[in-house]
Structure 1
Amino acid sequence: MKYDVIIVGSGLGGLQCAYIMSREGFKVCLIEKNKQLGGCLQTFKRKGSVFDTGMHYIGSVEDGQLLHKFLKYFRLCGKLKIRKMDTNAYEIIRLGDREFSFANGYDHFSEKLLSYFPGESEAVRNYVAKMQEVSRSVDLLNMDTLPGKRPGYFNYFSTGFNDYLDSLTGNRELKSLLTGNSPLYAGVRDRTPLYTPMIINSTYVDSAYRFVDGGSQVSDLLSGGIVENGGTIMRNARVTKFLFSSGLMKSVVINDSEELSAKWFISNIHPKAMLSLMENAPVRPAYQKRIASIDDTYGMFSLYLAMKENSFEYINSHYYIYRTDDVWHGDRIAPGRWPESYMMHFSPGSKNEKYTGSVIVTAYMNWNEVSPWENTWIEQRGDDYIDFKTGRAEKLLEVVANDFPGIRGKIKSYYTSTPLTYRDYTGTFRGSVYGLQKDFNSPLKTLIIPRTKVPNLFLTGQNTNVHGVVGVTIGSVLTCGEMLGTQYVLDKIRNA
């Protein structure tokens, strides 16, 4: 079968690229190894409770904000079931005994910070100005001319976020607060570039919303649009080989049997996984070594709490709770001290606005803790793995019950996932929660662009720009722009 475009992997970036290309009239085939589409947008249900596996809340979705025009182009406006989070406290961060909150709107955000740190007006003003500056650098829809080969936002990749905070203030608690939502980007003190947290934070300062009944509605709507546009979606189809001829990619092999060819190919899978599928690829060893040498972000242990009916009131804020003075500790979890921090999400449902049926608690977890079972598959890991997960769940639940008194008695049942689970369902290397680790010390090495060394093979997804809905959406536009022309794609989105 010959297509114009074959896209491997149905994460958000793959879905968006398939939608853009199929809407332009190209014959598109989107290939997914699992039954459920969506990558990090996947949800699952247990005993009436709906759980998100990755996408917990989105930002910048209101009219005039960064993501809104894109949502309109993808025909998602008015169709997504979302609930606006507390505008006075969309995120709540506990640092020891003190609790802080972030508010929507740049002025409101600043006022909140100054209420906690009245002597830090200059630092707060400069921080907010920098956040707006970085946000403008990626607002492609409002640029008169597109950035060149070295866009303005590249400078923010070569500056460390922690170094920037040190230049703003000597107030340790303020710096910890501004880094308090670092689990959103797997922050590492001596690696995380200024660009990543600033882009993510600016979108939520604009506005913050949760998905009602789960984030898989995004993949459902996009996949429906792809099919309406004439595209093909293959599920339960594992790509086992990328094949090449005369310097170009010519086809993919599905399940070691069926071969599909195309003019263009887009990979929405982890770059390291992609390289492992290449057979006689016209790719220099230096490129392969560069990709292989980039570290991955760390993984997470998730505890999914199915709550008893009408027992636990819905909380319209996202919590980040620290039992340590070091909010950058994620990449070096101390043995015997886990969990030193966790984040907590409360899922809104359409049937009951007052109470939640689903609570998700997530804490850092290193790969080496689950590596004894790395050669096993879901539901086939053995009793020792189950005992490991149960032990971790009870330890995390003990901490949560101390912070939220009475919650244990309101739990109907709980479920767990580890980096192994994440690896097997989303295809990320070693279950890394956000893919490749961006490093301001080596921006050229760790910043992956859509174009590869193979002229008709392109990359998309969280590894090519920044993870999250805004980052991946911008990345998908840049990827399709390699084939259609970026200005052409942006004009289509502007005029949608």
Structure 2
Amino acid sequence: MIQSYKKNPTLAENYDSIIIGSGMGSLTTAAILAKEGQKILVLERHYTAGGFTHVFKRKGFEWDVGIHYIGEVQRENSVIKKLFDYITDAKLKWADMGDVYDKIIIGNKEYDFVKGVQNFKDKILSYFPDEKNAIDEYVNLVFKAIKTSQKFYMDKALSPLLSKIIGRKMREPFYKFSDKTTYEVLSSITKNKELIKVLSGQYGDYGLPPKQSSFVMHAAVAKHYFAGGSFPIGGSSEIAKHIDTVIEKAGGTILISAEVDEIIIKKNKAIGVKMKDGKVFYAKNIISGAGIMTTYNKLIPTETAETHQLKQQLQSVKRAVSHACLYIGLDGSPEELNLPKTNYWIYPDKIEHDTAIDNYLKDVNSDFPVVYISFPSAKDPDWSNRYPGKSTIDIITLLPYDGFENWDGTRWMKRGEEYNELKEKIANRLLEVLYKHIPQAKGKIEHYELSTPLTTKHFINYDEGEIYGLDHTPKRFRQRFLKPRTPIKNFYLTGQDIVTAGVAAALFSGVITTSAITSKNIIKKVMKR
């Protein structure tokens, strides 16, 4: 049954813009358009809004499914902080995670990533005293790559004509960095394999190891956290809650349990959407934040997709990795259990990231190539007000989708004994890793449950349970169709696929999409406030 995110709204038949999906890109697009005076309808097929920013509750606990830390929100004048303030009317508040945001653990060695560019460099230098030049050069290259990305993404918002005239100049400097893999760049500045492994220790944030990922994707993540990490006070559901208020003020609505069946296109112009229950809504603009694969494969009428060869375009990009997440609820407050705010990135010893993944893909019983542990209850100062005497931990690892294909088509929570046994086996392996690094968690766990690629598919509607949309290879950044405008009039895209993975990138996708729709310099407007 379709229902409102808050209360029974008065639904109209016509809107200024309809947005499919309620992830960060969609919500940002909706909030900005609402501030431009548009009446917006956001349609979410899941029973809760927010995409990867939503939370779920079970057995007296609450878990954030996709937000583990956000960078650049402690500086008042940063673009990301100003954007979050703009779309939430400055209601969203952030808690700083402290000096050490990430801890890279390789075998028995630990390497802290500390906030502040100079502090970061000094700390890495203390582990690798002979690598000063390489560390300095690495940080310089990260900043250089990011500097070129501004114009590259601005080009995506330009009209086709303008992009034809000036776009090439805006894109070329970016390609110098995006065409290279992370490993190519790092191995050109140092031969120290351990340093390369440490510097690329956040690759789980975008899902591709150094020999496959584009350096610009790596640089975006590294730079994003140089000033430290933060967590939304009150949990990540605060994001959708405050954006909903902004949308509502302009007469718009977020609908949940509202699945779109098809985008209605007449004479190559998007005019509305048909819902699964047959209801139809109309709008001047239709925007999909449901991911380009889902949009082109499932929501666009076959005839239109064939006319513009939309499915052929998808052949030039690949789906990102799928994953498992173990959600753990513990007895005891974060303070009592002495849980850190720092994220742990745990890797096998004496083996490169790429090799570890290759081994694992050949045999999922071999060592996990990466295990990421996050302590959300320790990061949120409001947690203990909501859940006194309780704590949570999330553990994430890569998990190939093909190991779960047998259960595709089965119902969530009713996939059978064999599936549950496989989940239990993976959960116990992840708990072993946890106890090695956080021994105090042993005997304190009240509840745990594992999400698999099928869980992600069920809730996020990504066909193979991919967490980051499209793979961030050098080839991906050369695809010109990954932008807001489509060949269909009044039909636009938003979300991580038109920018890159991550909440901050999806946030920025909303700026690019709204700039393309309104022909206004939205970022200038945001920064002026």
Instruction: Sort the TM-score into its range (normalised by shorter chain).
Output: over 0.9
Q: How does 1:384-423 map to 2 (within 5 A)?
A: 384-423=418-457
Letter paired with 2:205: L
CA offset digits 1:93-151 (Å, max 9, x no partner): 001121001111111111111111111111111111122223333457xx9x9994243
8 Å CA contact retained: 1:244, 1:282: no
- Tell me whether 351-360 or 48-57 shows the greater mean CA deviation: 351-360
**CA 1:285/1:426 → structure 2, altered by over 3 Å: closer, same or farther?**
same
Trace 1:69-468 onto structure 2 (pairs within 5 A): 69-75=82-88, 77=90, 79-87=91-99, 89-138=100-149, 148-150=166-168, 151=170, 152-275=173-296, 276-279=298-301, 280-281=303-304, 284=307, 286-310=309-333, 311-324=336-349, 325-328=351-354, 329-330=356-357, 333-335=361-363, 336-348=365-377, 349=380, 350-352=382-384, 357-441=391-475, 443-445=477-479, 448-468=482-502
Alpha-carbon distance change, 312 to 287 in structure 1, aligned in 2, over 3 angstroms: same
- Which residue of 2 is the match for residue 46 of structure 1? 58
Question: For the residues of structure 1 that align with 2:369 and 2:523, how far apart are their CA atoms?
Answer: 44
For 2:3, the equivalent position in structure 1 comes to: none
Q: 1:330: how far off?
A: 3.9
Deviation at 1:45, TM superposition (A): 1.8
> Which runs of 5 or more structure 1 residues have no equivalent in the other structure?
none
Deviates more, 1:61-70 or 1:129-138: 129-138
In 2, distance between residues paired with 1:190 and 1:284?
36
Q: Is the 8 A contact 1:137 1:153 kept in 2?
A: yes
Instruction: Extract unaligned runs of 5+ from structure 2.
Output: 1-12
Choose from 36, 49, 61 the match for 1:24.
36
Letter in 2 for 1:223: D
SS in 2 for 1:429: coil
| Distance verdict in 2 for CA 1:454–1:154, change over 3 Å | farther
Q: Secondary structure at the match of 1:67?
A: helix
Aligned residues of 1:447 and 1:465 also touching (Cα < 8 A): no
In 2, are the aligned partners of 1:248 and 1:282 still within 8 Å (CA)? no
1:469 and 2:503 aligned:
yes
Distance in 1 between the 2:442 and 2:369 partners?
Answer: 20
Given that 2:494 and 2:510 are in contact with CA atoms closer than 8 Å, whether structure 1 keeps it comes out as yes
Amino acid across the alignment from 1:184: D
Mapped partners of 2:83, 2:524: distance in 1: 11
Q: CA deviation at 1:455?
A: 2.5
Q: Is the CA contact 2:98–2:228 (under 8 Å) kept in the aligned structure 1? A: no
- Pair 474,153 (structure 1): closer, same or farther in 2 beyond 3 Å: farther
> Would the aligned equivalents of 1:65 and 1:206 in 2 still touch at CA under 8 Å?
no
Q: Aligned pair in 2 of structure 1 residues 199, 80: CA closer, same or farther (>3 Å)? A: same
- Native 8 Å contact 1:46 1:306 kept in 2: no
Range moving further from structure 2, 365-374 or 304-313: 304-313
Distance 1:34 1:108, change over 3 A: same
Q: Distance in 2 between matches of 1:189 and 1:163?
A: 8
SS, match of residue 153 in structure 1? helix
SS in 2 for 1:149: helix
2:46 maps to which residue?
34
Q: TM-score, normalised by structure 1?
A: 0.93
Looking at structure 2, the residues matched to 473 and 364 of structure 1 have their Cα atoms a distance apart, in angstroms, of 25
- The answer to whether residue 525 in structure 2 is matched with residue 492 in structure 1 is yes
Pair 135,207 (structure 1): closer, same or farther in 2 beyond 3 Å: farther
Q: Distance in 2 between matches of 1:402 and 1:264?
A: 52
**Superposition deviation, residue 380 in structure 1:** 2.3
| Residues 314 and 346, structure 1, Cα contact 8 Å, conserved in 2 | yes
Cα distance in 2 between the residues matched to 1:34 and 1:492: 32
Q: RMSD of the TM alignment (CA)?
A: 2.3
Contact 2:124 2:135 in 1 (8 A): yes
Q: For the Cα contact (< 8 Å) 1:41–1:53, is it kept in 2? A: yes
Q: Normalized against structure 2, the TM-score is what?
A: 0.88
Give the letter for the 1:264 counterpart.
Answer: N
Secondary structure in 1 matching 2:469: coil
User: Which structure is higher in helix share?
Assistant: 2
- State the AA in 1 paired with 2:178: F
C-alpha change, 1:83 and 1:314, in structure 2 (3 Å) is: farther
For residues 212 and 419 of structure 1, what CA distance do their matches in structure 2 show? 28
Tell me the secondary structure at the aligned position of residue 516 of structure 2.
helix
C-alpha distance in 2 between matches for 1:36 and 1:495: 33
Same amino acid, percent of matched pairs: 26
* Mapped partners of 1:283, 1:473: distance in 2: 31
Aligned residues: 490
Distance 2:481 2:473 in 1: 8
Q: Secondary structure of the equivalent of 2:499?
A: coil
Q: Which amino acid in the other structure matches residue 320 of structure 1?
A: W
Q: Distance in 2 between matches of 1:94 and 1:188?
A: 16
Mapped to 2, the partners of 1:492 and 1:227 lie a distance apart of 21
Q: Kindly provide the amino acid, as one letter, of the partner of residue 64 in structure 1.
A: N
Distance 1:292 1:216, change over 3 A: farther
Match of 1:15 in 2: 27
Superposed CA deviations along residues 346-387 of structure 1, whole A, max 9, x for unmatched, are: 013425499860001111100011111111231221222111
Tell me the residue number matched to 1:6: 18
